[in-house]
Amino acid sequence: MAYLLQQLLTESVHRHPDKPAVRARGRSLTYGELDLRSSQLARLLRERGIERGDRVGLFFPKAVESVVAMLGVLKAGAVYVPLDPHAPVRRVAAIAEDCGVRALITTGERLATLPARDLACTVLVSGEARGAEIPWSALETFPAAAPVESAIESDLAYILYTSGSTGQPKGVMLTHRNALTFVDWCATTFRIGPDDRLSNHAPLHFDLSVFDVYNTLAAGATVSLIHEEITVFPQRLAALMEDHGITVWYSVPSALVYLLLHGDLAARDLERLRLILFAGEVFPMKYLRQLADLLPRAELYNLYGPTETNVCTYHRVDRWKLVGQDRLPIGRACANTEVVALDEAGRPVPPGGTGELFVRGPSVTPGYWGDAEKSRRALVDDPRPPQRGERLYRTGDLVTPDEHGEYLFLGRRDSQVKSRGYRIELGDVEAALYAHPAVIEAAVVAVPDPDVGSRLRAFVALRAGETVTGAALQTHCAARVPRYMVPERIEVRTELPRTSTGKTDRTRLAADARLMEAA
Amino acid sequence: MLSMDRDARAAIREFVIDRLAPTSGRGDIGDEDDLIDSGVIDSLGIFQLVAFLEERFGIAIGDEEITPENFGSVMAIERLVAARSR
């Protein structure tokens, strides 16, 4: 039984060394090549002084090398940190700094954009290597046998950064056991086999990709990494699904809605598509019904879970019930996971009541990198008897349990929102606006949107005598936060409305924003 | 014809620079600069752009025309608009 993620590869390599494991941008790598290259990369990293537990940043657009890099880092006993190749440099640099990245796997082009950092080594997947940089081709010169395994299952495998409410992204630490708990559950539930062809639509810094990559390796299947540019063109994306014979698709609902509305799916032969999984946001029922009608043979599942727990509940869509359903449950707990809705006093909520969802089990993160305070707030002692000090992750999501043990998602208890499946702390966006010297007050609101979950709108007040346009403030934000966090509209006002207690009147601003939409 | 083309290009440039480029963090954009790999046009931006073109130029753009060839640069978009306006 695998207790480290990279061990998922062992049996698949043995069974099908010549079978393609990964496809991306017209290239592919067999299981044999993936195993060899990742072992060589591990040797290289070790030789350059990377030790167990060191963090290695992966900073390049999706390519077959992405999976080599992930496995190579793990085989070296180290921890990989996928960095968003489209995020502003300053945010990427802040993340690299936060987790003390000791090595970087990147391209010449991306490297040139980053501020210089003292690194044990820099490996380039493409571009000309200069100075101490190591070209990808150098891997060939390293031994084919991976270093001796010394890691254990509770060691970290990767760190995924998400939006933080104060403007500093937070690094969710995930162990081998965390990820394997999820992969094991998937293997049983979805029966992924060697004939399956998985897609990878989500970016690699997004936890949906953990499903795509590791379930593929565990099953000896093939994964198609869909590079970022293809996702802009819905018909290209649909063509790829057909051409690659995708059997398992996992993405945020908004990507499926996008394909449904603009991808001309009806013209495609998607007979092989047997499983469609979605997570990250609420799937609008209208579109889900259309999708179900269009793909009558595919099984559909709604998966739920924050990065901190990966998927912790699931609901299999019942096609016959879809017509009368006004919303989809997030469902019941995955194997080896317990979920419970607790009230303010820490008591389990009866069916029909409202509580916050807490998660217990081996898929739950040990905490946030370098932030013991945040970790303590998110991971709390189980208040239920016998109180033996076991920790629960508090999701911040309000839910209601039904009489069958299935949960319904109601909303957030804080100001986190979802847009295109990305989790966004409104405070993170506001912090970016406040970083502008002319801004004295900023409020960001999320306007619900059927296609993408929500759209961000910002209202700002400027210092007396300052004149800055909304577009200029967008540019300012774009240099600080990822694109999905930049408000689509920023309205400059002389002052922001206040409540009777003197706080910014967010309810009023949200109403104004909805009016702006309607206009 | 030439002056109409110039107007079209200016309008397209303006939309790309004022509406799409800010959210990608790019500043100046040349007529032939790539808009896709650079992230200026993403999956949301492309439909804002299509809606703008349809309204501004009174044309209809089909989903099958939403390709990297037609939207890869300001020049490419202008060619698409010119072809559809004829």
pLDDT tens string A57-91? 999 999 999 999 999 999 999 999 999 988 888 89
Q: Which of A25, A92, A36 is nearest to A61 (CA)?
A: A25
CATH code reported for the domain at A416-518: 3.30.300.30
CA distance A249 to chain B (A): 18
Question: Cα–Cα distance between A342 and A345 in angstroms, integer?
Answer: 8
Range of the domain at B41: 2-85
* DSSP element (H, E) containing A411: strand A407-412
Q: Could you tell me the strand order of the sheet in which A489-493 lies?
A: A439-449, A453-462, A489-493
CATH code reported for the domain at A322-412: 2.30.38.10
- Asked if the Cβ–Cβ distance from A478 to B25 is below 8 Å, we say yes
**Residues in B touching A488 (Cβ below 8 Å):** 23, 44
* DSSP element (H, E) containing A89: helix A89-98
Find the residue in A nearest to B42 (Cα): A232
Count how many domains chain B has. Answer: 1
CA A465 to chain centre: 42
With beta carbons less than 8 A apart as the criterion, state whether A109 and A129 touch.
no
Residue with the bigger pLDDT between A15 and B8: it is A15
Residue B4, pLDDT > 60, answer no
Residue B2, pLDDT > 50, answer no
Model-level pTM? Answer: 0.93
Question: Cα–Cα distance between A61 and A84 in angstroms, integer?
Answer: 8
Question: Cα–Cα distance between A25 and A457 in angstroms, integer?
Answer: 35
Residue B34, pLDDT > 70, answer yes
CA distance B2 to chain A (A): 30
The β-bridge partners of A338 are A360
Positions of chain A with pLDDT lower than 50, given as ranges: none
Residues 394-423 of A with CB under 8 A from B: 420
The pLDDT tens digits of the residues spanning A216-225 come to 999 999 999 9
- Asked if the Cβ–Cβ distance from A229 to B24 is below 8 Å, we say no
Pairing of strands A248-251, A275-278: parallel
For chain B, count helices (H), then strands (E).
Answer: 5, 0
CA A24 to chain centre: 19
pLDDT for position B44: 78
* Residue from the list B21, B36, B66 with its beta carbon closest to the beta carbon of A262: B66
A270: tokens are 């998607």
With beta carbons less than 8 A apart as the criterion, state whether A187 and A215 touch.
yes
Domains A5-228 and A322-412 are alike in CATH topology: no
Instruction: Tell me, yes or no, if A302 comes closer than 8 A to chain B by beta carbon.
Output: no
DSSP-based three-state secondary structure for A166? coil
* Residue from the list A86, A235, A475 with its beta carbon closest to the beta carbon of B63: A235
For tokens 């390293």, the residue is A142
Question: Cα–Cα distance between A428 and A198 in angstroms, integer?
Answer: 33
**Residues in B touching A471 (Cβ below 8 Å):** 18-19, 22
CATH code reported for the domain at A5-228: 3.40.50.12780
**What ipTM was assigned to the predicted interfaces of this complex?**
0.87
- Residue A164: C-alpha distances to residues A205, A370, A428, A432 (Å): 15, 14, 6, 12
In CATH, what number is assigned to the domain containing residue B50? 1.10.1200.10
Question: How buried is A489 (Cβ within 10 angstroms: 0-12 exposed, 13-18 middle, 19+ buried)?
Answer: middle
Residue A504 burial (CB count, 10 A): 17
- Asked if the Cβ–Cβ distance from B63 to A229 is below 8 Å, we say no
CA distance B63 to chain A (A): 6
* Residue from the list B18, B23, B46 with its beta carbon closest to the beta carbon of A232: B46
Question: Cα–Cα distance between A3 and A154 in angstroms, integer?
Answer: 9
- Residue A99: C-alpha distances to residues A19, A30, A208, B82 (Å): 36, 32, 22, 51
Query: Confidence class of residue B17 from pLDDT cuts 50, 70 and 90?
Result: confident
With beta carbons less than 8 A apart as the criterion, state whether B12 and B81 touch.
yes
Residue B25, pLDDT > 70, answer no
CA A394 to chain centre: 18
Q: Could you tell me the strand order of the sheet in which A197-200 lies?
A: A27-30, A20-24, A222-225, A197-200, A248-251, A275-278, A299-304, A313-316, A332-333
- The residue ranges of every structural domain in chain A are 5-228, 322-412, 416-518
Measured CA angle at A169 (ends A163, A174), to 5 deg: 90
Residue A354 burial (CB count, 10 A): 14
pLDDT for position A437: 96
pLDDT for position B27: 65
Q: Which of B46, B85, B2 is nearest to A232 (CA)?
A: B46
* DSSP element (H, E) containing A124: strand A121-126
Residue with the bigger pLDDT between B27 and A208: it is A208
